[in-house]
Amino acid sequence: MTKKTFYDFGVDARLCEALAEAGITEPFPIQELTLPVALDGHDVIGQARTGSGKTLGFGLPLLNRLDLERREVQALVVTPTRELCLQVTEDFERAARKMDVKIVSIYGGVPIEPQTDTLKAGVHVVVGTPGRLLDHVRRGNLKLSTCRTLVLDEADEMLDMGFLPDVEQLIDECDDDRHTMLFSATMPTAVVNLARRYMDRPTFIRAEVEEHTIPDRMEQHFFLVHKLDKPRILARILQTPERGLAVVFTRTKAMADRLVDDLRSYEIDAVAIHGDLRQATRESNLGKFKSESSRHDVLVATEVAARGLDIDELSHVINYDPPEDEKMYLHRIGRTARAGGKGVAVTFATFAEIDRVNAIRKALDLVKEPIEETFSTSDELTRRFDLPPETPWNHLASSAGSSSRSSSQPTRSKPSSSRPSRSRSGSSTTRDSRSGTSQRAAGQERSRTPAPSVGSAGDGPATHPKQATDGSTATRARTRTRSSSSGGSSSGGSSETSSSGSSSARTRARASRPKGTAPSSNGATTSDASSDRGASRSSSRPAGGGRGGSGRSSSGGRGSGGGRDAGAGRDRPSRGHDVASVEPGSDPTRPGDDARGDGEPGIARRVKVEHLP
Query: Of 206, 239, 267, which residue is a domain's last?
Result: 206
Contact 100, 12 (CB under 8 A): no
Contact 103, 119 (CB under 8 A): no
Mean pLDDT of 488-512: 42
Which one of 137-151, 484-498, 534-548 scores highest in mean pLDDT? 137-151
pLDDT of residue 610: 54
pTM above 0.75, yes or no: no
Whether residue 320 sits in one domain with residue 173: no
**195 burial via Cβ count (<10 Å: 0-12, 13-18, 19+):** buried
Whether residue 563 sits in one domain with residue 433: yes
pLDDT of residue 122: 94
pLDDT of residue 268: 94
Contact 609, 541 (CB under 8 A): yes
Separation between Cα atoms, residue 335 and residue 545, nearest integer Å: 79
pLDDT of residue 543: 44
How many domains is the chain partitioned into structurally?
3
- 147 in any annotated domain: yes
Whether residue 195 sits in one domain with residue 238: no
Mean pLDDT of 269-288: 88
In the predicted structure, residue 514 carries a pLDDT above the cut 60:
no
**Which among 540, 574, 551 has a CA at the least distance from the CA of 470?**
540
Separation between Cα atoms, residue 395 and residue 224, nearest integer Å: 27
pLDDT of residue 44: 95
Whether residue 353 sits in one domain with residue 433: no
Give the structural domain span for 120: 6-206
Query: Of 391, 416, 433, which residue is a domain's last?
Result: 391
- 407 in any annotated domain: no
Residue 403 pLDDT class (50, 70, 90 cuts): low
Residue 456 pLDDT class (50, 70, 90 cuts): very low
Whether residue 434 sits in one domain with residue 362: no
Residue 214 pLDDT class (50, 70, 90 cuts): confident
Whether residue 202 sits in one domain with residue 114: yes
Whether residue 143 sits in one domain with residue 49: yes
Residue 217 or residue 491, greater confidence: 217
Which one of 200-204, 513-517, 526-530 scores highest in mean pLDDT? 200-204
- 291 in any annotated domain: yes
- 420 in any annotated domain: no
Whether residue 223 sits in one domain with residue 199: no
Whether residue 518 sits in one domain with residue 442: yes
- 211 in any annotated domain: no
Assign residue 271 the CATH number of its domain: 3.40.50.300
Whether residue 562 sits in one domain with residue 479: yes
Whether residue 233 sits in one domain with residue 345: yes
- 399 in any annotated domain: no
Whether residue 534 sits in one domain with residue 493: yes
Backbone φ, ψ for residue 382 (5° rounding): -60, -40
Backbone φ, ψ for residue 11 (5° rounding): -75, 145
Mean pLDDT of 266-278: 90
- 402 in any annotated domain: no
pLDDT of residue 542: 44
Torsional class of 423: left (φ above 0), alpha (ψ -120 to 50), beta (otherwise):
beta
